[in-house]
Amino acid sequence: MDSLSIKGGVPLHGEVAIGGAKNAVLPIMAASLLTAEPCVIRRVPRLSDVSFMGQILTSLGARVNLDGDTLKIQAVKIKGVGDYDLIRKMRGSICILGPLLGRLRRASVSLPGGCVIGPRPIDLHLKGLSQLGARIIIEGGYVRARAQRLMGGEVFLGGRAGPTVLGTANVMMAAVLAEGVTIIESAACEPEVVDLANFLSAMGARIVGAGSPTVTITGVKELHGAEHEVIPDRIEAATFAIATAATNGEVTLLDARPDHMHAVLDKLRESGVKVERRGSALTVKRGGQLKPVDITTLPYAGFPTDVQAQMMVLMTLTPGISIITERIFESRFMHVSELARLGADIAIEGPSAIVKGGRPLSGAPVMASDLRASAALVIAGLVAKGTTQVKRIYHLDRGYEKIDDKLKRLGARLGRMEES
């Protein structure tokens, strides 16, 4: 198990290319199961989650080949059973349920694993697929779904924390091969859902309204192969933007898709960070003294929960009191105790973290609890005095392609070490 040793105090400078979006590529890979013809996916990041999904597709019978950032998948003959040992490693693997049910009319998929950031039930996934005609039971740790026919219908996917992104993806992928018209109300509006819809449309699906709360899908008899380029990762871009502001550097983010980042960029500017947009590139630099801000995580187009931990680090450096309220995942403050080890003053009151900023951080050993907490601890290490050792960085490799190499090219002093 690897760790990162970081010597803080160096401003980041230069350019960094933003890779393909993890949260877009995984359901797109799963969607390739909907056809026997070859699919080509470009700008695929080399992440452990992508590797796991490739192994899952291979276990189902697909041929998967990654060459550089181009992924070729062909699923001529597939089975409908998803293996527990693979699926338990990654929550995103649940998105194979919809395409297996759509193509085979049956699916048996192990309940997934993933980051420990609070309960993330799949009841809305199952509710939506049931409304298309699937009979679903859960037994022995598996979701078992069958349908003699899938029929279009009205599906409502609103939940306690808002729409479900993977649930929208699962219902969409099953509905493209259902009979008739499916209308998804309270659909997730994230850019990753739009990217999946664009890929499905390239395969021959008929989808209208992706990116809005109402998505209409008219079923077709079959889909064909397609080529597609994955959108840039807005969370990776936000992470590098915050790291730049935290270290008082200046970095240009290439291929950042600022139109997917309005809420993050708005809060960065409100906090005193200068953000200049040139086409798809963003240049980020500190504009003077940082200012405290209040943030509430919300479904897209609100402030993303996946950037909450990173933004909290910036607020620890900001004189004054900032309040960060988490409305998506109830256990997503596990990084707070680790930031406290570095000297941060943060109090938790219900769903809110009260950050008393302006105190200097000092290096210490810390433990990553999940993917975005790992990124936050790396940012904290970049600004802390002395050396910070971030342990269990396998979480980082799930969602950031060679983040240590990218940071080194921007001037960061860090190294990866293998732990015994």
Residues assigned a catalytic role: 115
Contacting residues for 386 by C-beta, under 8 A, at least 6 apart? 7, 8, 362, 363
With 0-12 CB in 10 A as exposed, 13-18 as middle and 19+ as buried, what is 68? exposed
Residues pairing with 217 in the sheet: 182, 207
Strand order in the sheet with 320-325: 294-296, 320-325, 352-357, 345-349
Residues 312-339 as b/e (b if ≥16 CB within 10 A, e otherwise) read: bbbbbbbeeebebbbbbbeebbbbbebb
**Which residue is associated with the tokens 């200012």?**
291
Contacting residues for 167 by C-beta, under 8 A, at least 6 apart? 122, 124, 125, 128, 157, 159, 188
Identity of the residue numbered 156: F
DSSP 231: P
Round to the nearest angstrom and report the end-to-end CA distance of the chain. Answer: 7
Read out DSSP for 107-164?
Answer: EEEEPP----SS----HHHHHHHHTTT-EEEEETTEEEEE-S--B--EEE---TTS--
Helix, strand, coil percent values for the chain (each to nearest 5): 35, 30, 35
Q: Of all helices (H) and strands (E), which one includes residue 191?
A: helix 191-202
- Rounded Cα distance, 283 and 320, in Å: 26
Identity of the residue numbered 193: V
E-strand spans in 194-280? 206-208, 214-218, 227-229, 250-254, 273-278
Q: Of all helices (H) and strands (E), which one includes residue 323?
A: strand 320-325
Cα 71 to Cα 42, 89, 97, 235, distances in angstroms? 6, 21, 21, 22
DSSP 332: T
